[in-house]
Structure 1
């Protein structure tokens, strides 16, 4: 067994039991710029603000799951919905005999360890997703929008992508986000960009497979059809109501093909609510039922109230409807209360029919995270992946230049013992890839922790107000920016202890971006290095010095290395831009961990 798999397995259980911090992060300590004080500061221990993980929920029992679905059917019937259909999968299954707790614990630990041992080499993913060629922000075209949407003076250009719609087809993810489509991943870790036409059909694209073809639309966009997920697409036209008149205002649309061959359309933002209608399967532009409001804003639901504390009872943006079906139950997910708030989340209504009647599931929202680097997981989709696993792809927040400045993440979800959608929230640590974990409710964390957050650091230079420690404060809204004229900016981090490190997430921002003037994004070239003592010798961990790929967010894995100091050297960046580092997070495990001590004594296990 290789070293990284060994220390990931050993650290996973301890990391999963760490409580999640939900309070505000402690302010980072700013180092004195005088050399003497800097050296003394390097000897002091720094705080580590890495987030932990919530308590694992009870593992669902299949009989509980069936009873939950039966309870849903009965509840819909009691509340006056049309008679619940009888489904074979709702029949109760005999409860399995309870295992002895100690034996059950040993069995779970054995399975948990085997999951890591089977991965050679260990492969992980990390949010926000590292998509190449991040697209131009929609609001930068013409800059004619309401000035209240812009966060900084001057309406500065920015990049964004959000509102992901994902298709799992022939063993690959096909990702269609706002502002530029499409992306493909065959290993579920790395993504390639495949520009197609229509390149940018509008906000909130949606893709669906129907009768061997692929249907694509977006906010107020025509419907398109293609023989392959990447095209070529032919234009079919706009949607029409049953009387032949044009359907107006299909915002945040979603096309859902049911198992019986029937086809449905869902759409809507804010008032009056989320709509649904059936489409003609022969002519998908034609509605064959009148638009029906499936549910509306309910201020009794705290997660639907606007504001970072859900304080506004009057304002709401329920949006981003997404339908999927599991075990005869229809789950209509949606996002609220607004994409600019850290309270942005995903919740669900359930029904025994595609057009209702719908009731909110008992445990809402099913995906919500207010704090940390990856927060506000809203407007997205729930799709089936490898091995029948369920994955949520979602929007997450930046909100620095514009309130629509956003990124994309993904995490496993599941149906719990009560028949409700559930998750561990948005993750910001390395996780196990789709297909690698058959029991995500036990936790999907790969066992690696951040070793760089709020550590002592020093930089070759700093622009006014853009100090070096901003690269280590675990925030998407701050950044380190070197001073003008620094030919090779460098950031050095003192970990104060030895850590075995094996992957890193590097997030940049485009300071000076101006599309109209020809100042365009491009590759940032860098080298990440490690050393055991001040002054080196330095060993390269990741060499991107010759990179030709534009990666606004980069996530890299490398051979495990013991490090006490880390150094990032920035070697090149696009002309006209200023290098700006939002976050450098290196992940690993302490060499003082018992598993690492055993390895030092006995050698790596095989």
Structure 2
């Protein structure tokens, strides 16, 4: 949402229509130069123009995240989560697949995402798709969930994923690949890369699409972590726990300017240091060489940290993007969200991702340009500003402390609860980001029909309020 109006206060009246309490993070952003010359006397006001189609986005991505599935071997509080994104461009639309969502999303513009409810066959760990692979081939989108040694599941294909039309490309995909990734080369040859382990390496092998997608030859050991020489691969928060070997996972392959880029996630999805590294080669199965500049995608600080186990794709203008896993890890160590960042390859062939101001609004590229040119320039106005609320299970100030691990929560889930911020001065507010946390939920999986409904008001004097955004009938 983009707002162009000078205001001193913002209030949000929340009317949540489902029987649980929602916590709240909120951020107000503006162009910093506008704050320097503003007087204390409010000028004549004009109503802002709200854009129906966003021209910016903000991390974490604004998605209807599903709830973590119930597992007999884990006792954690109900929470929304997903991870391990695979994002592709197919027939001029973007498709985003991730862990345990009972479906996936599509978008025309990388800002508005539409959910497609679809159930694939679960694996023996009761995952409704875990760390999936997706690739746009000449025959359609290939889709492969995680497999364990106990699984005997299909490889899927679709020429119309927007409408949820899938069929089995292989009824019994024989390769038991955990954390798989698919890649079709320019010559039409298909490859699979996989594994998630702190003992074994990433593997790769060619697949024969004409023979039920069976392996061509023996699998190849591609790479292992080397934390003694690559410090960012060291296990733990801030890479400070060497008591366990780090995990390599999340393989992804891209061919850029004739060179193969094998990407991988490390050292652990629950840590702020979760990032993506890359090895390069002249051949799709190597041998691979560690890129001197690594990790190529990393974001250990900010409102929400983490930039690992992602996927790199090209948009319709030829720009590179990298989707990633971002971490909260409060309700459960694997409480996570998704992020999206611009990516590029420099003149020396070095793959890199721009996570600068990665929590702030970014423009959505409409032309071919370079990473870093899409930053909106809007700065945070709401950090540690005065807040108040109708009630508080947790302090209202926690909604504006620039930390996704904390949040304000009302004392109950009854309609009419409100939260307000006083920005302390008249300012041009260009965007408002609202992130919901879940508190006291009993939901698991993907219950359809839950909605975030609220009204957003603005005021110059804190007394007279005007309705700015009405999401009370949001579907």
Alignment of 1:156-235 (within 5 A): 156-180=77-101, 181-198=103-120, 201-220=128-147, 221-230=153-162, 231-235=164-168
Query: For the Cα contact (< 8 Å) 1:167–1:174, is it kept in 2?
Result: yes
Q: Distance in 1 between matches of 2:446 and 2:179?
A: 32
Query: For the Cα contact (< 8 Å) 1:219–1:253, is it kept in 2?
Result: yes
Unaligned 5+ runs, structure 2: 7-26, 33-50, 123-127, 148-152
Q: Distance in 2 between matches of 1:511 and 1:409?
A: 23
Corresponding position of 1:425? 355
Indicate the larger mover: 190-199 or 178-187: 190-199
Work out which of the residue numbers 393, 398, 411 in structure 1 matches 2:341.
Answer: 411
Q: Distance in 2 between matches of 1:459 and 1:516?
A: 29
Alignment of 1:489-508 (within 5 A): 489-508=417-436
Listed one character per residue, the Cα deviations across residues 184-213 of structure 1 (whole Å, up to 9, x for unaligned) are 111221111111242764211111233322
User: How much does 1:374 deviate?
Assistant: 2.5
Q: Distance in 2 between matches of 1:533 and 1:348?
A: 53
Work out which of the residue numbers 274, 296, 312 in structure 2 matches 1:366.
Answer: 296
The structure whose Rg is larger is 1
User: How much does 1:486 deviate?
Assistant: 6.3
Query: For the Cα contact (< 8 Å) 1:50–1:453, is it kept in 2?
Result: no
Corresponding position of 2:306? 376
Query: For the Cα contact (< 8 Å) 1:239–1:287, is it kept in 2?
Result: no
Distance 1:312 1:518, change over 3 A: closer
Listed one character per residue, the Cα deviations across residues 374-402 of structure 1 (whole Å, up to 9, x for unaligned) are 21111110001121100001111111111
TM-score by length of 2: 0.82
Unaligned 5+ runs, structure 1: 8-47, 54-118, 148-154, 241-246, 549-606
TM-score by length of 1: 0.65
Listed one character per residue, the Cα deviations across residues 453-481 of structure 1 (whole Å, up to 9, x for unaligned) are 21111222212xx1110111111111111
What SS does structure 2 have at the residue aligned with 1:303? helix
What SS does structure 1 have at the residue aligned with 2:84? coil
Indicate the larger mover: 260-269 or 276-285: 276-285
Q: Relative contact order, CA 8 A, sep 6+: which one is greater?
A: 2
Q: Distance in 1 between matches of 2:268 and 2:178?
A: 14
Work out which of the residue numbers 281, 292, 305 in structure 1 matches 2:220.
Answer: 292
Q: Distance in 2 between matches of 1:318 and 1:376?
A: 15
Corresponding position of 1:256? 183
Indicate the larger mover: 207-216 or 513-522: 513-522
Q: Does 1:386 align with 2:316?
A: yes
Q: Distance in 1 between matches of 2:165 and 2:447?
A: 31
Query: For the Cα contact (< 8 Å) 1:385–1:434, is it kept in 2?
Result: no
Corresponding position of 1:458? 388
User: How much does 1:120 deviate?
Assistant: 12
Q: Distance in 1 between matches of 2:446 and 2:315?
A: 40
Indicate the larger mover: 477-486 or 330-339: 477-486
User: How much does 1:519 deviate?
Assistant: 9.2
Q: Does 1:527 align with 2:474?
A: no
Corresponding position of 2:251? 321
User: How much does 1:439 deviate?
Assistant: 2.1
Corresponding position of 1:128? 60
Q: Distance in 2 between matches of 1:438 and 1:120?
A: 25
Q: Distance in 1 between matches of 2:178 and 2:30?
A: 36
TM-align CA RMSD: 2.9
What SS does structure 1 have at the residue aligned with 2:398? helix
Indicate the larger mover: 401-410 or 122-131: 122-131
Corresponding position of 1:63? none
Distance 1:281 1:51, change over 3 A: farther
Corresponding position of 1:586? none
Query: For the Cα contact (< 8 Å) 1:127–1:410, is it kept in 2?
Result: yes
What SS does structure 2 have at the residue aligned with 1:470? helix
What SS does structure 1 have at the residue aligned with 2:337? strand
Distance 1:261 1:173, change over 3 A: same
What SS does structure 2 have at the residue aligned with 1:251? coil
Alignment of 1:435-450 (within 5 A): 435-436=366-367, 438-440=369-371, 442-450=372-380
Listed one character per residue, the Cα deviations across residues 121-157 of structure 1 (whole Å, up to 9, x for unaligned) are 871111111113x22213x2xx32255xxxxxxx221
Corresponding position of 1:37? none
Q: Does 1:237 align with 2:171?
A: yes
Distance 1:351 1:215, change over 3 A: same
Query: For the Cα contact (< 8 Å) 1:198–1:233, is it kept in 2?
Result: no
Q: How many residues align?
A: 419
User: How much does 1:371 deviate?
Assistant: 1.2
The structure that is helix-richer by fraction is: 1
Query: For the Cα contact (< 8 Å) 1:197–1:232, is it kept in 2?
Result: no
Listed one character per residue, the Cα deviations across residues 488-513 of structure 1 (whole Å, up to 9, x for unaligned) are 22222111111111321111122222
User: How much does 1:305 deviate?
Assistant: 1.1
Corresponding position of 2:19? none
Listed one character per residue, the Cα deviations across residues 570-593 of structure 1 (whole Å, up to 9, x for unaligned) are xxxxxxxxxxxxxxxxxxxxxxxx
Q: Distance in 1 between matches of 2:3 and 2:241?
A: 51
